[in-house]
Amino acid sequence: MRRVLGCVVLALVTVAASAQFSDPASDVPAYNVGAPTVAMTPLLHGQQLTGPNFVHTYQVAAYKMAAKIPAVLHQEPCYCRCDRALGHDSLHACFTVLHGAECSTCLQEGVYAYRETMRGQSPAQIRAGIERGEFMKIDLNTVTLPTK
């Protein structure tokens, strides 16, 4: 009995210790594989983009960019891990509430997705860029309102 218990403990310790060596790319946050098939929750807009959560112009700009590509955002993961903490199923969910305005990761990913969409990239190509961390190159202080 002691041997069995000892083996079980050893196996659990081995699994726990090996977790630190797992591939982070295989741990992609929640997203949807294809375009939405039902009506999506609307993104914040208009007067909702005012107040203490929108003191920086880049916050409003990011929400306005998001409003132009909701189906793309639906197909993108969010690396702030709001899928775990808030139950979000994609980057789209971040912009349906104030969370997107309060999180630099969401803001950077939203701006990145918009810019890449305007460059003609597909949602899958954008997702690959997000997974590589390309969104982290976005300097929010240089983001301005979209003109298109």
Instruction: List Cα–Cα distances, 112 to 36, 81, 115, in angstroms.
Output: 20, 17, 5
Q: Tell me what pLDDT residue 56 has.
A: 95
In the chain, where does DSSP find H-type helix?
2-18, 57-68, 70-73, 82-85, 91-94, 99-102, 104-118, 123-131
Are 88 and 114 in contact by the 8 Å Cβ rule? The answer is: no
The 10s digit of each residue's pLDDT in 68-111 is 999 999 999 999 888 788 878 899 999 999 999 999 999 999 99
| Cβ-count burial 49-59 (b if 16+ within 10 Å, e if not) | beeeebeeebb
The dihedral built from the CA positions of residue 93, 94, 95 and 99, taken in this order, carries a sign that is positive
Are 58 and 46 in contact by the 8 Å Cβ rule? The answer is: no
* pTM for the predicted model, two decimal places: 0.80
Are 135 and 112 in contact by the 8 Å Cβ rule? The answer is: yes
Q: Tell me what pLDDT residue 69 has.
A: 97
The 10s digit of each residue's pLDDT in 17-28 is 443 333 445 588
The 10s digit of each residue's pLDDT in 36-62 is 999 999 999 999 999 999 999 999 999
Are 72 and 110 in contact by the 8 Å Cβ rule? The answer is: no
